[in-house]
């Protein structure tokens, strides 16, 4: 049986860490669909998992990578056949099921999304879980009556993968987007994506009152902690927040005042567990109306071998936008 390259995460003395290994298909978790991986992408969760900085992996050893896009090599499910272009994001990928950082992935057919018309495999991974999360957040906010007429929308962790894509999508939909960033040298980048205003994290006066000046109709939060608490205190009447990230902390200290006096709504976003009908709808939107027009500004390609170097930079908040990993060997 032929060997292929995979980046597998192991646990040793209670600490997890990843390394490249050679595997056979038989060593992968079971599933009806075998995918030859063309591209994967790096998400914050992948960096936590591979370095052991967060308890993400629930079953060791496990091939990392929450995302994969490639071509079906073999299928025991009638919905897919060899040669189909497909993608998988979330579910148990890279957590308790071997994921996308490998030349082959084997997954349950119920997890597989046909590549939407209009997106290439590379573009699907430039979007990846990050773009899916951005689009799902916007979808949820708009289901809660957010529209450009309501007022400004703030996006935190602005230069990150999810946020960079969210800024573009919101700007394309006509929103006045305010980007909150810790990177003062990236203001030009954020403006080029469509941000109308930039706030510097270092200069932000958060105040301490249960309700501060009402500023935002909508918010997409990558940070959690003090930043999310501040958002709750600065939302307008009936403002709506999508909380999807914890790059700055998992705690949330606020009061009920924003909720009972301003009718603020705090919506949790869990992209990994999104049910298939909504998942397909969001991917359809990502290939059409929500398709980020400036994807090439946000995403860059790294070779598979460079994967381990990406994780620490990501955890230190040094990266900008999305890192796509090219996995299919040439030829």
List residues binding ligand NAP (CB under 6 A): 43-45, 129-130, 133, 157-163, 181-183, 201, 222-223, 244-248, 269-272, 314, 317, 319
Residue 228 C-beta: closest distance to ligand NAP, Å: 11
Q: Name the residue nearer to ligand NAP (CB basis): 116 or 157.
A: 157
Please state the closest distance from residue 80 (CB atom) to ligand NAP, in A.
Answer: 25
Long-range contacts, stretch 230-237, CB < 8 angstroms, 24+ apart? 230/204, 230/206, 231/154, 231/156, 232/258, 232/259, 232/264, 232/266, 233/207, 233/209, 233/257, 233/258, 235/262, 235/264, 236/150, 236/151, 236/262, 237/262, 237/263
Which token pair is 248? 């700055």
Q: Smallest distance, Å, CB 36 to ligand NAP?
A: 25
C-alpha distances in Å from residue 15, one per residue of 163, 237, 244: 30, 46, 26
CB nearer to ligand NAP: pick between 72 and 325: 325
Nearer to ligand NAP, 87 or 162 (CB): 162
**Minimum separation from the CB atom of position 46 to ligand NAP (A):** 8
Residue closer to ligand NAP, measured from CB, 80 or 91: 91
Please compute Rg for the chain using Cα positions. Answer: 20
Q: What is the C-alpha separation between 302 and 325, in angstroms, rounded?
A: 5
DSSP 8-state class, residue 311: H
Closest separation between CB of residue 256 and ligand NAP, Å? 24
The residue among 223 and 324 lying less far from ligand NAP, judged by its C-beta, is 223
Cβ–Cβ under 8 Å, residues 86 and 34:
no
CB proximity list for 235: less than 8 A, separation 6 or greater: 214, 215, 216, 217, 219, 241, 258, 262, 264
d(CA 142, CA 258): 20
- Residue 306: count other Cβ atoms within 10 Å of its Cβ: 12
CA dist., res. 63 & res. 94, Å (int): 6
- Comparing CB distances to ligand NAP, the nearer of 72 and 298 is 298
**Shortest Å distance, C-beta 67 to ligand NAP:** 10
CA distance 86 to 195: 32
Q: How far is the CB of 243 from ligand NAP (least distance, A)?
A: 8
Report the C-alpha gap between 95 and 230 in whole angstroms: 31
For residue 127, the surrounding DSSP H or E stretch is: helix 121-143
Cβ proximity to ligand NAP, 148 vs 317, nearer residue: 317
Q: How far is the CB of 14 from ligand NAP (least distance, A)?
A: 22
Residue nearest to ligand NAP (CB): 160
Between 24 and 313, name the residue whose CB sits nearer to ligand NAP: 313
Q: Are 205 and 231 in contact (CB under 8 A)?
A: no
Q: CB neighbours (10 Å) of residue 330?
A: 4
Give min distance, CB of 318 to ligand NAP, in A: 8
Nearer to ligand NAP, 34 or 248 (CB): 248
């Amino acid at each position: 049986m032929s060997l292929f390259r995979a980046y597998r995460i192991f646990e040793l003395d209670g600490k997890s860490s990843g390394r490249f290994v050679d595997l056979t298909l038989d060593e992968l978790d079971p599933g009806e669909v075998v995918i030859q991986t063309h591209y994967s992408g790096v998400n914050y969760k992948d960096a936590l998992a591979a370095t052991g900085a967060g308890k993400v992996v629930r079953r060791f050893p496990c091939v990392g990578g929450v995302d994969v896009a490639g071509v079906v090599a073999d299928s025991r499910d009638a919905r897919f056949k060899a040669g189909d272009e497909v993608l998988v994001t979330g579910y148990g990928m890279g957590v308790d099921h071997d994921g996308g950082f490998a030349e082959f992935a084997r997954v349950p057919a119920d997890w597989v999304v046909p590549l939407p018309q209009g997106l290439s495999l590379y573009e699907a991974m430039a979007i990846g879980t990050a773009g899916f999360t951005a689009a799902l957040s916007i979808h949820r906010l708009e289901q809660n009556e957010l529209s450009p007429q309501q007022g400004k929308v703030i996006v935190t962790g602005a230069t990150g993968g999810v946020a960079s894509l969210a800024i573009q999508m919101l700007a394309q939909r006509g929103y006045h987007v305010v980007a909150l960033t810790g990177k003062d040298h990236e203001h030009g980048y954020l403006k080029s994506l469509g941000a109308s205003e930039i706030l510097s994290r270092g200069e932000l006066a958060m105040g301490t009152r249960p309700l501060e000046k009402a500023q935002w109709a909508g918010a997409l939060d990558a940070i959690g902690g003090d930043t999310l608490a501040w958002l709750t205190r600065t939302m307008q009447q009936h403002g709506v927040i999508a909380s999807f990230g914890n790059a700055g902390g998992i705690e949330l200290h606020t009061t009920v005042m924003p909720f009972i006096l301003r009718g603020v709504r705090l919506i949790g976003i869990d992209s990994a567990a999104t049910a298939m009908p909504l998942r397909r709808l969001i991917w359809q939107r990502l290939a059409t109306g929500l398709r980020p027009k400036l994807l090439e500004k946000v995403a860059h390609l790294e070779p598979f071998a460079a994967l381990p170097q990406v994780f620490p930079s990501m955890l230190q908040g040094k990266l900008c936008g999305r890192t796509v990993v090219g996995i299919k060997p040439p030829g």
